[in-house]
């Protein structure tokens, strides 16, 4: 019993003192923003049929559905072609900025707005990965996902170096961005565009107010106590969101595994055989025929998928077994992307699985990426470039060499009793 209070104290200190899993949340940020960005770019020629005015799920049908369920989508604020093109372009831009980690506290909210706006406009577009992306875009708002591998981290290092030199760096982009977005949010609220479900409008206003409070605590507070308090609150929110992401991934695999157990095709070991023969899921028919021709391989893939998905949540307390099953699930998603032609579903699940990757592995991966970037960066070394000659310097090489020798002789101390050489 005497060990219990110190253990609780250490756990509370760890949760409040630091944002856990900075590398994992950075990989989640990069993975989901990259998935959404690649999807938007690939579907750019078909954007009108997916989410635009030419969609089979017309504007009137979408308006009726949103009026019923209260979902948030900015595309229903106007049915004009220009508005749709602007929203689609902004969704691409916000995905790219989140991928780079630029102003992640603000851009993560804009990324969520872009995801919800497009997906809630046409709810029947997607292959399963869109549901994961939908949820994770909301969870990312509560995380401090820009602590490493981001432009924000680089800016924080430069500001720390400037303070160490006695300088006082000032951020003008952040307040300007905060003011513009606050004005747009106020206009949308007063215009009645936020009259649906209250969760998204309340979240947007809460993040906007938190940004203002954070800036005031950093600039106007006389002591650092208020900033420390806000930092503790941010760490608690981040760690809670990280726990929710982990629970969400476990829930996805657990429910998928237990539903598979109840299916007769999964019980007799033939379930994997059937999607390999569907034309929609056969981008490489020869490869699908090759895999489905081996009955033993089909049976092992069927039973192995169920076993891994059901067992994974129970192996989180054993690091070695968890890492083995995690590697198997990631391999399975790579196979699904190639064989069944579902790359964006697999990318979304791989990004979600990254929350369980070991920190040591991610650090080594980041170090290798940094070394590779250094090799690709042009080197600044080599022979120094000579400066401009003096006006009285002679043109021929003999006189120039003589002058150089004289200057070098002047720089060297003369031995005792020896007169210095004349130039």
Q: Is the pLDDT of residue 328 over 70?
A: yes
Is residue 363 a contact partner of residue 23, using CB atoms and an 8 Å limit? yes
Is residue 303 a contact partner of residue 260, using CB atoms and an 8 Å limit? no
Name the more confident of 399 and 140: 140
CA–CA distance, 279 with 277 (Å, rounded to integer):
6
Q: Is the pLDDT of residue 397 over 60?
A: no
Q: Is the pLDDT of residue 221 over 70?
A: no
**What is the average pLDDT across 225-243?**
92
What pLDDT is stored for residue 140 in this prediction?
Answer: 96
- Angle, helices 225-261/295-311, rounded to nearest 10 degrees: 140
What pLDDT is stored for residue 222 in this prediction?
Answer: 65
**pTM of the model as a whole:** 0.86
What pLDDT is stored for residue 150 in this prediction?
Answer: 95
**What is the average pLDDT across 195-209?**
91
Helix (H) or strand (E) holding 239: helix 225-261
Give DSSP secondary structure letters for 173-236.
HHHHHHHHHHHHHHHHHHTTTT-S-SHHHHHHHHHHHHHHHHHHHHHT-SSSHHHHHHHHHHHH
Least confident window among 111-115, 192-196, 297-301, 353-357: 192-196
What pLDDT is stored for residue 406 in this prediction?
Answer: 46
What pLDDT is stored for residue 389 in this prediction?
Answer: 52
**What is the average pLDDT across 37-47?**
95
Which among 394, 15, 9, 5 is positioned nearest to 239, based on CA atoms?
A: 15
What pLDDT is stored for residue 4 in this prediction?
Answer: 66
Per-residue buried b or exposed e for 131-144, using 16+ beta carbons within 10 Å of the residue's own CB: ebbbbbbbbbbbbb
What pLDDT is stored for residue 53 in this prediction?
Answer: 87
Is residue 62 a contact partner of residue 76, using CB atoms and an 8 Å limit? yes
Average pLDDT, the chain: 86
Task: Tell me whether residue 271 is exposed, middle or buried, using C-beta atoms within 10 angstroms of its C-beta: 0 to 12, 13 to 18, 19 or more.
Answer: buried
**What is the average pLDDT across 195-213?**
91
């Amino acid at each position: 019993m005497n060990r219990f209070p110190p253990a609780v104290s250490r756990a509370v200190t760890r949760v409040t003192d630091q944002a856990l899993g900075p590398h994992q949340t950075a990989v989640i940020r990069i993975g989901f923003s990259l998935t959404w960005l690649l999807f938007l770019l690939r579907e750019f020629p078909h954007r009108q049929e997916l989410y635009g005015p030419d969609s089979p799920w017309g504007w009137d049908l979408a308006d009726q559905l949103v009026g019923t369920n209260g979902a948030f989508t900015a595309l229903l604020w106007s049915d004009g072609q220009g508005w749709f093109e602007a929203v689609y372009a902004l969704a691409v831009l916000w995905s790219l900025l989140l991928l780079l980690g630029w102003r992640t506290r603000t851009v993560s909210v804009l990324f969520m707005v872009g995801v919800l706006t497009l997906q809630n406009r046409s709810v029947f577009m997607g292959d399963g990965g869109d549901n994961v992306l939908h949820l994770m875009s909301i969870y990312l708002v509560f995380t401090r996902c820009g602590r490493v591998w981001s432009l924000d981290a680089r800016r924080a290092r430069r500001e720390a170096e400037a303070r160490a030199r006695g300088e006082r760096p000032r951020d003008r982009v952040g307040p300007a961005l905060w003011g513009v977005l606050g004005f747009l949010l106020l206009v949308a609220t007063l215009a009645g565009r936020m009259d649906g479900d209250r969760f998204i409008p309340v979240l947007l206003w809460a993040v906007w107010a938190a940004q203002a409070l954070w800036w005031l605590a950093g600039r106007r507070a006389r002591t650092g106590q208020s900033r420390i308090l806000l930092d503790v609150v941010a760490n608690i929110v981040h760690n809670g969101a990280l726990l929710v992401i982990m629970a969400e991934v476990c829930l996805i695999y657990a429910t998928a595994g237990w539903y598979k157990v109840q299916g007769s095709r999964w019980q007799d070991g033939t379930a994997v055989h059937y999607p390999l023969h569907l034309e929609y899921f056969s981008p490489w028919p020869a490869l699908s025929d090759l895999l489905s021709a081996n009955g033993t391989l089909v049976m092992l893939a069927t039973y192995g998928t169920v076993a891994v998905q059901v067992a994974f949540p129970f192996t989180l307390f054993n690091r070695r077994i968890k890492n083995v099953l995690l590697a198997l699930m990631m391999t399975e998603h790579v196979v699904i992307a190639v064989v069944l032609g579902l790359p964006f579903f697999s990318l979304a699940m791989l990004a979600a699985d990254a929350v369980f990757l070991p920190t040591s592995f991610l650090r080594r991966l980041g170090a290798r990426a940094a070394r590779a970037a250094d090799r690709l960066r042009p080197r600044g070394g080599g022979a120094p470039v000579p400066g401009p000659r003096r006006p009285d310097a002679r043109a021929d090489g003999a006189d120039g060499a003589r002058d150089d020798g004289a200057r070098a002789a002047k720089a060297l101390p003369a031995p005792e009793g020896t007169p210095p050489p004349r130039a």
